[in-house]
Amino acid sequence: MSSVPLSVYLVLALILFCIGLFGALTKRNAVIVLISIELMLNAVNINLVAFAKYGINPGITGQIFSLFTITVAAAEAAVGLAILIALYRNRKTVNVDEMDIMKH
Amino acid sequence: MNPLIWIIPVLPLLSFVLLLLFGRRLKEASAHVGALLTLGSLVLSIVVLLNQWGGEPVKETLSWLTFGETTLSAGYLVNPLNALMLVIVSLVSFLVQVYSGGYMHDDDRFPIFFAYLGLFTFAMLGLVLSPNLLQLYVFWELVGVGSFLLIGYYFYKREARSAAKKAFIMTRIGDVGLFIGMILLFWQVGSFEFDEIFAAVEAGEISEGWITLTAILIFVGAIGKSGQFPLHTWLPDAMEGPTPVSALIHAATMVAAGVYLVAAMFPLFQASEAALTTVAVVGGFTAIFAATIGLAQADIKRVLAYSTVSQLGYMMLALGSSGYVAGVFHLTTHAFFKALLFLAAGSVIHAVHTQNIHEMGGLWKKMKWTAPLFLIGAMAISGVPGLSGFFSKDEILAATYADGRFGLFWIAVIAAFLTAFYMFRLFFLVFTGESRGIQEKVKESPVSMTFPMIVLGILALIGGLINTPFATYLSDFLAQNEALEIHHHETRWWIPVVATGVSLLGILMAWLVYVKKKVTRFSESAPDLHYILLNKYFIDETYDYSFVKGTRALSYFWYYIDRFVVEGLVGLVTGIVGWFSKIGSRFQNGQVQLYSSVAFAGMAILLLVVAWIGGYLT
Amino acid sequence: MNGELIVFFILALVAIGSGILMLNLTKVVHMVIALVFTFLSIAGLYVMLSAEFLAFVQILIYSGAITIIMLFGIMLTRHSDRTESKIGVPRTVLVLGGIVAFFLVMFFQINDLSFGEQATVLHVDNTEKIGVELYSKFVIPFELTSVLLLVALVGAIVLAKRDDEEEAKDNE
Amino acid sequence: MTLDKLLSFDWGMMAPEFSIVITAILLSLIDLFMPNKVSRKPLALLGLAGIIVAIVFAVLQVGDPVGSILFDTYRFDSFALAFKLLFLVATAMIFLLALDFEGESKWAYRGEFYYLLMTALLGAMMMASSADLITLFVGLELLSISSYILAGIRKRNFHSNEAAFKYVVNGGIATAITLFGMSYIYGLTGQTNLYAISEMLVDPRVQENSFLVIMAFVMMFVGLSFKISAAPFHMWAPDVYQGSPTPVTTFLSVVSKMAGFTLILRLFFVIFLGTQGWHNQILLDAQPFIAFVAGATMVIGNVVALRQRNIKRMFAYSSIAHAGYVLVPFVSLSLIVFKTTWFYLLAYLLMNIGAFAVIQFVTSREKSEDFTAFSGLNKRAPLTAFMMAIFIISLAGLPFTAGFIGKFGIFMSSLGTGHYILASVMIATTVVSYVYYFNVMVQIYFRKGAGNRIRPTAGLAVVMVICTIGTLLFGIYPSLALDFFQSGFDINDLFTPSE
Amino acid sequence: MESILLSALVFSPLVGILVLAFMPNTEERLLKTVGLLATLLPLAFAIITYVGFTPGNVNIQFVEQYRWIDFQIKGLPNGGDFTINYDLGVNGLTVVLLLLTAIVSTLAAAASVWIKEHWKGYFMLFLLLEIGMLGVFASQNLLLFFIFFEITLIPTFFLIGKWGYIDKEKAAYSFLVYNGLGSAILLIVFIILYMKTGTMNYTGLSSFLHQPPEVLEQMYIGDEFRFGLLIALLVALGVKLPIVPLHTWMLKVHVQAPPSIVMIHSGILLKIGAYGVYQFGIGFFPEEFRQIAFWIALLGVINLLYGAFIAFVQVDFKRVLAYSSVSHMGIVLIGLASLNGAGMQGAMFQVVSHGLISALLFFLVGLIYERTGTSLITHLGGMAKVMPITAGFLLVGGLASLGLPGMSGFVSEFMAFLGLFKEMPVLAAVGTLGIILTAVYILRAVLGMTFGETKESLLQLKEPRFVEWLPALILTALIVLIGVYPAVLSDILQLTINAMMAGKGAVV
Predicted confidence (pLDDT) per residue in E115-132, tens digit:
888 888 899 999 999 999
Distance (Å, rounded) from C-alpha C115 to C-alpha C106? 17
Residue from A15, B214, B570 nearest C103 by CA? A15
The reply to whether residue C101 touches residue B608, judged by beta carbons under 8 angstroms, is: yes
Q: Looking at the complex, does the CB of residue A103 fall below 8 Å from at least one CB of chain D?
A: yes
Nearest-by-CA chain B residue for C109: B616
Could you tell me if D294 and D230 are in contact, meaning their C-beta atoms sit under 8 angstroms apart?
yes
Cis peptide before E245 (omega within 30 of 0): yes
Chain B residues with beta carbon closer than 8 angstroms to that of D305 = 581
Total residues belonging to chain E: 508
Min distance B608 CA to chain C CA atoms (Å):
7
Could you tell me if D125 and D17 are in contact, meaning their C-beta atoms sit under 8 angstroms apart?
yes
**E64 SS3 class:** strand
The dihedral over CA atoms of B421, B424, B430, B436, expressed in degrees to the nearest 10, equals -50
Q: Looking at the complex, does the CB of residue D205 fall below 8 Å from at least one CB of chain A?
A: yes
C82, containing H or E segment? none
**E67 SS3 class:** strand
For chain C, report the end-to-end CA distance as a whole number of angstroms. Answer: 66
The reply to whether residue A80 touches residue D186, judged by beta carbons under 8 angstroms, is: no
φ/ψ (deg, to 5) at D183: -65, -35
pLDDT digits (tens, 9 = 90+) for D265-284: 888 888 877 665 555 677 77
Could you tell me if D86 and D342 are in contact, meaning their C-beta atoms sit under 8 angstroms apart?
yes
Could you tell me if D205 and A56 are in contact, meaning their C-beta atoms sit under 8 angstroms apart?
yes
Could you tell me if E383 and E368 are in contact, meaning their C-beta atoms sit under 8 angstroms apart?
yes
Q: Looking at the complex, does the CB of residue A30 fall below 8 Å from at least one CB of chain B?
A: no
**D132 SS3 class:** strand
Residue ranges of A 9-38 with Cβ closer than 8 A to chain D: 10, 17, 20-21, 24-25, 30, 33-34, 37
The answer to whether the predicted template modeling score (pTM) of the entire model surpasses 0.80 is yes
Nearest-by-CA chain E residue for D421: E188
**Pairwise pLDDT comparison (D293 vs B468), residue with the higher score:** D293
- pLDDT at residue C172 greater than cutoff 50: no
pLDDT in the model for residue D348: 95
pLDDT in the model for residue D274: 63
Q: Looking at the complex, does the CB of residue C92 fall below 8 Å from at least one CB of chain A?
A: yes
Domain extents in chain D: 14-495
Distance (Å, rounded) from C-alpha A51 to C-alpha D102? 49
Nearest-by-CA chain E residue for D400: E147
E53, containing H or E segment? none
Distance (Å, rounded) from C-alpha B257 to C-alpha B250? 10
Query: What is chain E's mean pLDDT, rounded?
Result: 87
Please, how many CA atoms are within 13 Å of residue D7, restricted to the half-sphere of its CB? 3
- pLDDT at residue D42 greater than cutoff 60: yes
**Pairwise pLDDT comparison (B613 vs E493), residue with the higher score:** E493
- Pairing assessment for the beta strands E83-90 and B70-78 based on DSSP bridges: unpaired
pLDDT in the model for residue E508: 33
pLDDT digits (tens, 9 = 90+) for D316-349: 999 999 999 999 988 877 777 888 899 999 999 9
Could you tell me if B398 and B489 are in contact, meaning their C-beta atoms sit under 8 angstroms apart?
yes
- pLDDT at residue E358 greater than cutoff 50: yes
ipTM for this prediction = 0.88
Chain B residues with beta carbon closer than 8 angstroms to that of C94 = 597-598, 601
pLDDT digits (tens, 9 = 90+) for D233-250: 899 999 999 999 899 999
CB proximity list for B528: less than 8 A, separation 6 or greater = none
**B58 SS3 class:** strand
**E201 SS3 class:** strand
Residue from B288, B300, B381 nearest B342 by CA? B300
pLDDT bucket at E370, cuts 50 / 70 / 90? confident
**B110 SS3 class:** helix
The reply to whether residue C159 touches residue D152, judged by beta carbons under 8 angstroms, is: yes
Instruction: Mark out chain B residues that contact chain C at CB-CB < 8 A.
Output: 593-594, 597-598, 600-601, 603-605, 607-608, 611, 616-617
Nearest-by-CA chain C residue for B591: C87
Chains A and C touch (3+ CB pairs under 8 A): yes
Query: What is chain A's mean pLDDT, rounded?
Result: 88
The number of domains in chain C is 1
**B385 SS3 class:** coil
Best of E309, E352, E380, E410 to disrupt the B interface by mutation (most B CBs within 10 Å)? E309
**Pairwise pLDDT comparison (E378 vs D181), residue with the higher score:** D181
Q: What are the beta bridge partners of residue E90?
A: E61
Min distance D56 CA to chain B CA atoms (Å):
40
Distance (Å, rounded) from C-alpha D352 to C-alpha D319? 8
CA distances from B56 to B77, D103, E421 (A): 11, 101, 36
Of D138, D161, D164, the CB nearest to A72: D138
Successive 10-residue mean pLDDT values, chain B, 618 residues: 76 87 79 85 86 80 83 86 86 87 80 87 89 89 89 86 88 90 88 86 85 90 87 86 85 85 87 88 89 85 88 88 85 88 86 80 80 87 84 84 84 88 86 72 79 86 78 77 66 80 87 80 78 82 86 90 88 91 88 88 85 70
CA distances from D279 to D335, D398, D413 (A): 13, 34, 16
The dihedral over CA atoms of D306, D307, D308, D313, expressed in degrees to the nearest 10, equals -60
- pLDDT at residue C135 greater than cutoff 70: yes
Distance (Å, rounded) from C-alpha D175 to C-alpha D181? 10
In one-letter notation, the amino acid at residue B458 is: I
Q: Looking at the complex, does the CB of residue C99 fall below 8 Å from at least one CB of chain B?
A: yes
Q: What's the angle, vertex CA B452, arms to CA B450 and CA B458, rounded to 5?
A: 100
Nearest-by-CA chain B residue for C94: B601
Residue from D80, D25, D89 nearest D54 by CA? D89
Nearest-by-CA chain D residue for C136: D1
Range of the structural domain that residue C9 is part of? 1-84
pLDDT digits (tens, 9 = 90+) for D137-147: 999 999 999 99
CA distances from B140 to B179, B226, C102 (A): 11, 12, 83
Best of B607, B610, B618 to disrupt the C interface by mutation (most C CBs within 10 Å)? B607
Distance (Å, rounded) from C-alpha E355 to C-alpha C92? 64
In one-letter notation, the amino acid at residue E18 is: L
Distance (Å, rounded) from C-alpha B408 to C-alpha A12? 111
Residue from B305, D389, B601, B278 nearest E162 by CA? D389
CA distances from B211 to B189, B196, B207, B215, E266 (A): 11, 14, 6, 6, 42
pLDDT in the model for residue D107: 54
DSSP for D25-77 reads HHHHHHHHHS-TTS--HHHHHHHHHHHHHHHHHHHHHTTPPPEEETTTTEEE-
- pLDDT at residue D232 greater than cutoff 60: yes
Range A6-93 classified under CATH 1.10.287.3510: yes
Q: Looking at the complex, does the CB of residue A8 fall below 8 Å from at least one CB of chain D?
A: no
Could you tell me if E244 and E303 are in contact, meaning their C-beta atoms sit under 8 angstroms apart?
yes
Min distance D301 CA to chain B CA atoms (Å):
9
φ/ψ (deg, to 5) at E376: -75, 135
Q: Looking at the complex, does the CB of residue E212 fall below 8 Å from at least one CB of chain D?
A: no
Residue from B261, B246, B395, B222 nearest B306 by CA? B246
Of D168, D173, D180, the CB nearest to A44: D180
Chains E and C touch (3+ CB pairs under 8 A): no
Distance (Å, rounded) from C-alpha E107 to C-alpha E467? 12
C2: domain CATH number is: 1.20.120.1200
The dihedral over CA atoms of B323, B329, B331, B337, expressed in degrees to the nearest 10, equals -140
Min distance D159 CA to chain B CA atoms (Å):
11
CB proximity list for B346: less than 8 A, separation 6 or greater = B99, B103, B242, B243, B244, B246, B247, B449
- Pairing assessment for the beta strands B58-67 and B70-78 based on DSSP bridges: antiparallel
User: Over the Cα atoms of chain D, what is R_g?
Assistant: 22
The reply to whether residue B156 touches residue E452, judged by beta carbons under 8 angstroms, is: yes
Of D21, D105, D212, the CB nearest to C170: D105
Chains B and E touch (3+ CB pairs under 8 A): yes
- Sequence-ordered strand ranges (E) for B6-138: 58-67, 70-78
Of B578, B580, B614, the CB nearest to D285: B614
- pLDDT at residue E55 greater than cutoff 90: no
Q: What are the beta bridge partners of residue C56?
A: none
pLDDT bucket at E79, cuts 50 / 70 / 90? low
Q: Looking at the complex, does the CB of residue E232 fall below 8 Å from at least one CB of chain D?
A: no
- pLDDT at residue E505 greater than cutoff 50: no
**D262 SS3 class:** helix
Residue from E501, E379, E496 nearest E53 by CA? E496
pLDDT digits (tens, 9 = 90+) for A71-93: 999 999 999 999 998 888 888 88
Could you tell me if E23 and E31 are in contact, meaning their C-beta atoms sit under 8 angstroms apart?
yes
**E243 SS3 class:** coil
Of D69, D110, D139, the CB nearest to C158: D110
**B561 SS3 class:** helix
E101, containing H or E segment? helix E92-111
Could you tell me if A94 and A31 are in contact, meaning their C-beta atoms sit under 8 angstroms apart?
yes
Distance (Å, rounded) from C-alpha D128 to C-alpha B183? 72
Could you tell me if E147 and E133 are in contact, meaning their C-beta atoms sit under 8 angstroms apart?
no
The reply to whether residue C156 touches residue A81, judged by beta carbons under 8 angstroms, is: yes
The reply to whether residue E177 touches residue D409, judged by beta carbons under 8 angstroms, is: no
pLDDT in the model for residue C83: 57
Nearest-by-CA chain C residue for B608: C105
Distance (Å, rounded) from C-alpha B90 to C-alpha B335? 11
Cα maximum dimension of chain A:
57
Best of D23, D43, D119, D233 to disrupt the C interface by mutation (most C CBs within 10 Å)? D119
Distance (Å, rounded) from C-alpha B151 to C-alpha B100? 15
The reply to whether residue E187 touches residue D411, judged by beta carbons under 8 angstroms, is: yes
Of A79, A83, A96, the CB nearest to D161: A83
